[in-house]
Amino acid sequence: MSTTTTTPSRWRHHAGVLVLAAGVVVALSGCAANAAADPADASGDGTVTIGAASNGAAEETTVTVQEDTALHDALPADVKDSGTLTIGVGALPAGFPPLAFTGDDQQTITGSEPDLGRLVAAKLGLEADVQNATWDNLFVGIDSGKYDAGFSNITVTEQRKEKYDFASYRRDELAFQVLASSSWTFDGDPSVLAGKTVAVSSGTNQEKILLEWQQQLQADGEELTVKYYPDGNAVKLALDSGKIDAYFGPNPTIAYQNAQSTGGAEETTTAGTYSGAGSSLQGLIAATTKKGSGIAEPVAKAIDELIEDGTYAKWLQAYNLSNEAVEHAEVNPEGLPLDNS
């Protein structure tokens, strides 16, 4: 169950509440007793801050999360007895807003991914211990048991399922970014790209998809021009000046950039999204646990309860990621095939 109240736009630390990032406070009950060193983590009185020090990546939102004692009791004994859910985030060295990064207080690990981990921990009646690592060391930590779960924009793949158990919580989406003044939209049909000039990052999954569409259009006698730029600033300049019609990239990054552009000379928006797994499968982002650890199923049920009581929707809305919502969490759903892992 959740309750919602509006708070000022700066992060505050209140006993018994969880500050989500969009004006909503989440008062938590039943978490393990212990004062948290990280000001965004749950403590004994249920205090959690989501969106803390997020530097505009999210609106502050507060929600009340009620512990599910049955889910707490279903946890593996070592996790239950520790009273802590140790959450690994692979955001070193620079982070990737709005998903995971070091906050503007230079200490809080903030962003949508660790925030959901904190919400799940609260639902499980555990204190959240969020730890940052490099991407490679995140998986080393899961393998060794250092981290109970990774919340770090991890896509479910068939190859990873050989080694890990998953609890899905977001759609893995790519997006087309255009100027807010543009009337062009994308509904999944690549034929609307005919005659367009689109920027994409080299060596990415979105480049692979875009080049496949380019080949399809060329076979039909149409042209799609693909452009490459060294960084995001160069892409934004190209978009602002009309050198490109759109940028094709990760949906969360584009959602963040769109929010940052609000009030600027050239605001941007999302023209449409597309599954990061391609046309045959909806890609999914999931909490990642060591295979056979027994953690994935309680985590999935905790996510389902957050979906049912509305907390999940508020979390996504705070980060402008509502277009990545799932209807329910799945344990070990179908993942990207081995030839695309």
Same domain, 302 and 251: no
Residues 111 and 211 in one domain: no
Same domain, 10 and 158: yes
Does residue 12 sit in the same domain as residue 106? yes
User: First vs last Cα of the chain: how many Å apart?
Assistant: 37
Which residues, 6+ apart, have CB-to-CB distance to 130 below 8 Å?
Answer: 38, 40, 41, 87, 89, 109, 114, 117, 118
Residue 31 CA from chain centroid, whole number: 24
124 & 153 share domain = yes
One domain for residues 167 and 18: yes
Considering the entire predicted model, what is its pTM? 0.86
Distance of alpha carbon 301 from alpha carbon 308, whole angstroms: 10
Radius of gyration of the chain (CA): 20
Same-domain pairing of 145 and 218: no
Let me know whether 270 and 320 are in one domain.
no
- Domain match, 166 and 180 both: no
Longest dimension (CA), the chain: 66
pLDDT tens, position by position, for the chain (341 residues)? 443 332 222 222 222 334 343 333 333 333 333 334 555 554 444 566 778 789 989 887 777 888 999 999 999 999 999 999 999 999 999 999 999 999 999 999 999 999 999 999 999 999 999 999 999 999 999 999 999 999 999 999 999 999 999 999 999 999 999 999 999 999 999 999 999 999 999 999 999 999 999 999 999 999 999 999 999 999 999 999 999 999 999 999 999 999 999 999 999 999 999 999 999 899 999 999 999 999 999 999 999 999 999 999 999 999 999 999 999 999 999 999 877 64
Q: Residue 228: give its domain's CATH number.
A: 3.40.190.10
Q: Is 242 exposed, middle or buried (0-12, 13-18, 19+ CB in 10 A)?
A: exposed
304 and 293 in one domain? yes
Total structural domains within the chain: 2
With 0-12 / 13-18 / 19 or more C-beta atoms within 10 angstroms meaning exposed / middle / buried, residue 234 is: middle
Asked whether residue 309 falls in the same domain as residue 241, the answer is no
Q: Do 130 and 196 have their domain in common?
A: no
Question: Of 250, 275, 300, which marks where a domain is finished?
Answer: 275
Domain carrying residue 231: 173-275
